[in-house]
Amino acid sequence: MYIVHSCASVQLPGPRFFTVSRQSNCFAPFSVSVGSCAGAKTSPCIVKASRRQRLNTQSLNTEIEEAADEGVGEDGDEDDEFLPRSGFGGREEEMDYDRNPEFAEILGSCLDDPQKARSKMEERLRRKRNKILHTKTGSALPMKVTFNKFDFSNTYIWFEFYNTPLAKDISLICDALRSWHIVGRLGGCNSLNMQLSQSPFDKRPSYDAIQGANVNPTTFYNIGDLEIQDNLARIWVDIGTSEPLLLDILINALTQISSDYVGIKQLVFGGDEFENWKENLTSEHAGCSVHKI
């Protein structure tokens, strides 16, 4: 309890409440310097309390600012309300630049010195060309295509690769054959309905739905598994209808695969036998494998 002079003017701290007793005949337990009523001085204890209050307030404000910078509320969860926001996402961009200071330096010199930025980019490409540019793994020689007693309803398609295909090459071949079969089975390779490819280029394209619906459908009936022996492979197909467009689509796809990914020496349609193929050879140690289409 604080006891002050009856005429003393005391300013108490805001958040704290004190009980003040006004007694004219009692003396305070501590020294109080009292002048006139208009110019009374505050007790040293009250001054110390006021200072402690200001320090506590400053400490509380500091903690609130730190919590706002970290985006963490009182319950430990992230609070988006206190996250600093910028219209251009400045903080995230700065973090991205910090992860790649070389790229940031190149971008920073684009406006000031474009030639310098271009030189740095060319130097970066020279140093990291093996990670950026990938050489073609296919063959520059064109794939040879031949037909040997080919039958649309029951036949083999034979592949001869320059080298034994890797797992990724086999996966690519299987994906191409699977896509070819799905498109053909859905009737997407019908040469009797080629309205857009046969329309003139100088006119706006148009499609006649009635004409397309009245065309005889073509359906890819069935396809077997891809069998591989060393650098040879074969697959059995039952195309069903005599549709040359189906063969053109497959040849075009395999030509691109041979050029860019895995070299195919020749592609043979038809025939029950092919060079060094062994019918009863199924051992994986001999390079034999079967892949589901």
One DSSP character per residue, 130-165 reads HHH-----S-SSPPEEEESS--SSSEEEEEEESSPP
pTM for this structure?
A: 0.56
Specify the range with the lowest mean pLDDT, choosing from 216-220, 264-268, 289-293: 216-220
Count of helix runs (H) and strand runs (E) in the chain = 9, 9
What is the number of domains present in the chain?
3
CA distance 200 to 215: 21
CA distance 13 to 52: 10
Scan for tokens 């034994």, then name that residue.
164
CA distance 31 to 187: 106
Specify the range with the lowest mean pLDDT, choosing from 128-132, 163-167, 264-268: 128-132
Q: Which domain holds residue 216?
A: 144-190+208-291
Note whether 46 and 128 are same-domain residues: no
pLDDT of residue 66: 60
pLDDT of residue 292: 95
Burial profile 246-266: b = 16 or more Cβ within 10 angstroms, e = fewer: bbebbeeebbebbbebbbbbb
Mean pLDDT throughout 137-163? 93
> Which of these three, 62, 82, 103, is where a domain ends?
62
- The band of 115, judged by pLDDT with boundaries at 50, 70 and 90, is confident
Note whether 44 and 151 are same-domain residues: no
Note whether 216 and 272 are same-domain residues: yes
For residue 225, the SS3 value is coil
